[in-house]
Amino acid sequence: MGWVRVPGGAVLEIFEFRPRQPAVDIPWNRVGLTHIAFDVRNTQKWYDYLVSKGVEVVSRPARSPRGHSFFFAKDMDGNLIELMDLGYKYHVLGWLGPLGGFLFRRGMYKRYYE
C-alpha cells in the first residue's frame, strides 16, 4: 500500500494484494472503475519514456476531437492508465468540477453510458 500526493493536496491511495491472480482483459467501458487518468505535459515524451522502460503501451499518442493529446498504457497488474495533456482544458475542467462529468455523460460521451 502506498500514497501519492498530487498538486492541490489530494492524496491517491494505492493497494496491492498478494497472492496475485492472473490478469484478465477487462472491457474499458464496463460498470465500475475502468481506468485512471493523469494530466501530464508532453504525451510524446512520456510515451517514449514508458516504451524505453518496457511498459506495456496500448496506444500511441493521439489527438482527441476536442484537441487534447492522450495515450493508454497498462500497469504491471493490467490496469488501464491514461496519460493526457489537457492543456488549457485542465483549468476549465477544474472550474466545471462535477458539473463537467454530468454534462459529458449526457453529451459527447453518452453512447458509453447507454
Query: Residue 75 region, left (φ>0) first, then alpha (ψ -120 to 50), else beta?
Result: beta
Domain boundaries, the chain: 34-113
pTM over 0.95? The answer is no
Residue 93: what pLDDT?
67
Report strand pairing: 62-63 vs 69-74: antiparallel
Question: What is the CATH code for 34-113?
Answer: 3.10.180.10
Cα dist from 110 to 12, 102, 105, 106, 113, whole Å: 28, 10, 5, 5, 5
Q: For every one of its 114 residues, what pLDDT tens digit does the chain have, with 9 covering 90 and above?
A: 567 777 776 777 776 666 667 766 766 667 767 788 888 999 999 999 999 999 999 999 999 887 889 999 998 878 889 999 987 766 666 666 667 667 767 776 677 666
The C-alpha cell at 57 is: 503501451
